[in-house]
Amino acid sequence: MPKGKERHTITIENQGVDITNPNKPLWPDKGITKLTYLKYLIEASPHLLPFLKDRELTVIRYPHGVTGESFYQKSCPDYAPDFVKTHLSGDINYIVCSDLPTLIWLGNQAAIDLHIPFNKIDSALPTEIVIDLDPPSKEEFILSVEAALIIKEVFDGLNIISFIKTSGNKGLQIYIPIPENRYTYEETRLFTEFLANYLTKKEPKWFTTERLKKNRGKRLYVDYLQHAEGKTIVAPYSLRGNPEALVAAPLNWSEVKQSLSPSMFSLEVVLERIASKNLPFKDYSKIKSKQDFDKILLWLKEALPKS
């Protein structure tokens, strides 16, 4: 390699995007370079971009690879190219990644973890409900599986259509697509809190809503407070900054069983799933209008004790 940065300009959707140091190792333990990561983003983009589109983006960047120092970035840097769209919220000028050139530019910046809020930039109302199942460590991942299966039974009884993915680290995250611009965060929290309380009452030795880690013991934390305005969650198909190059991977519900492990879904595996059309979230947007959440909300408002 010559001294200094190797630089190329490629054309994506009629935009010139600079690529620097394509052979830089981003996941050195696996020999995954920046170029490999950019190729992943291109292949995953039809399935990743619908979740990033029109949302304020928070990223974790790893300029020296995942074994080096990392940092969160919310504000769009001054050196961003003109095609990168932004949205000013408070004093933060967020990047809005709605297209492939922006996604590849972010990849070139070694932005790996891609976190998004639950609402879009033109609305204060959530577009989905997400339940985060967070075990104390990877060794207790089975607790996420048990919680997810109990929740799925509840959903089936309520005729709720749901989707599930790994977090890319040590847990699982369940998604309920809902009609857009209809429900408030206060209303959706009624549902997430109901589920959390149901789990903790059903299996108090396994699950908890305790915020303080020191008080959780070996129980799985059911984070119903995470679904709120201003909070974010890792996007489906985002890579994570761990040594194994794991992905926040969409799953089929049939895959959620005791043999499941987050380590099964690395960059290479998810690329194979995409190539074979194993796309568990492919009907996600179609389900929004079919979800009958009004009936559930009415039941919750009548059944829950008034504060």
Q: Per-residue pLDDT for 7 more than 80?
A: yes
User: Quick check: 194 pLDDT over 60?
Assistant: yes
Identify the pLDDT of residue 1: 34
Q: Is the pLDDT of residue 217 over 70?
A: yes
pLDDT over threshold 90, residue 5: no
Inside any domain, residue 186: yes
Domain that holds residue 106: 7-116
| DSSP 8-state secondary structure symbol assigned to residue 105 | H
Tokens of 56: 């304020």
95's enclosing H/E stretch is: strand 92-96
Flag whether 1 is in a domain. no
CB 164 within 8 A of CB 151: no
**Does residue 303 register a pLDDT over 80?**
no
Q: Is the pLDDT of residue 307 over 60?
A: no
pTM of the model: 0.94
- State the pLDDT at residue 224: 86
* Co-location of 80 and 200 in the same domain: no
Same domain for 103 and 180? no
Which residues are CB-neighbours of 226 under 8 A, at least 6 positions away?
130, 132, 233
Residue 3's pLDDT is: 46
How many CA atoms does the CB half-sphere of 79 hold within 13 Å?
Answer: 5
Residues above pLDDT 90, as percent of the chain: 79
| Residue 255 or residue 6, greater confidence | 255
- How far is it, in rounded angstroms, from Cα 93 to Cα 76? 6
Q: Is residue 296 part of a domain?
A: yes
229 belongs to a structural domain: yes
Query: Would 294 be classed as within a structural domain?
Result: yes
Confidence of residue 223 (pLDDT cuts 50, 70, 90): confident
Q: Are residues 109 and 132 in the same domain?
A: no
Query: What is the pLDDT averaged over residues 272-288?
Result: 97
Structural contact between residues 148 and 261, judged by C-beta atoms closer than 8 angstroms: no
Model pLDDT for residues 101-146, shown as the tens digit of each residue: 999 999 999 999 999 999 999 999 999 999 999 898 889 999 999 9
The CATH number that applies at residue 71 is: 3.90.920.10
Tally of domains in the chain: 2
Query: Do 90 and 197 sit in the same domain of this protein?
Result: no
Mean pLDDT of 65-71: 97
* Residue 4: predicted pLDDT: 53
